[in-house]
Amino acid sequence: MFLFNRSISINVSLVSNKIVAVNGVFLDSQHELCITLEADLESYTITSADGQLRRAPHKDCVHAQDRIKKLVGVNLNCNVRKQIQAAVGLEQGCTHLTDLTLECVKGIVQAKYQLMKLTMQEEEMKIQVEQQLNGSCLHYKKF
């Protein structure tokens, strides 16, 4: 018997040639949060944000969903965690909403690499990926 479970699901789709939409669901033993973001791939910013806390352990938790709109304008190029925490986390927000939003951003990054496969020659893509991921993990370790 499990005492606790948690699932996070992220789906990213292409809205136009420069806009992606990401739908995230955070579901655990006490919470159900849903969020939908749109991001501009040229400016790399969040252009739309909507969502709700469908289930939470405390009555006042639902107020954190009012902060979701504050994600609009978040620049995904730098200080992402700090920007997201300021928008939907910390004392006035929800740590789980912060976590879900960060997972959505990770999904946007992964989708960006999938788009590269569709729009670039293999060698050009390989060079860009290696430059962007240099030092980020074992496979892309710095030499």
Q: Which two tokens stand for residue 138?
A: 């074992």
**pLDDT, position 99:** 97
Of the candidates 103, 99, 51, the residue with the CA atom closest to the CA atom of residue 72: 51
* Under-70 pLDDT residues of the chain: 143
* Summary count for the chain: helices (H), strands (E): 3, 4
Domain ranges of the chain: 6-115
pLDDT (0 to 100) of residue 125: 86
Q: Are the CB atoms for 42 and 73 separated by under 8 Å?
A: no
Tell me what pLDDT residue 10 has.
Answer: 98
User: How, if at all, do strands 19-28 and 6-14 pair?
Assistant: antiparallel
95, 87 contact by CB (below 8 A):
no
CA gap 47, 15 in Å, rounded: 12
- The pTM (predicted TM-score) of the whole model is 0.90
| Cβ–Cβ under 8 Å, residues 70 and 93 | no
Per-residue model confidence (pLDDT) at position 120? 83
Which residue bears the tokens 């939907």?
88
Q: Give the helix/strand (H/E) hosting 34.
A: strand 32-40
Instruction: Specify whether the CB–CB gap between 8 and 100 falls below 8 A.
Output: yes
Query: Which residue(s) pair with 11 in the sheet?
Result: 23
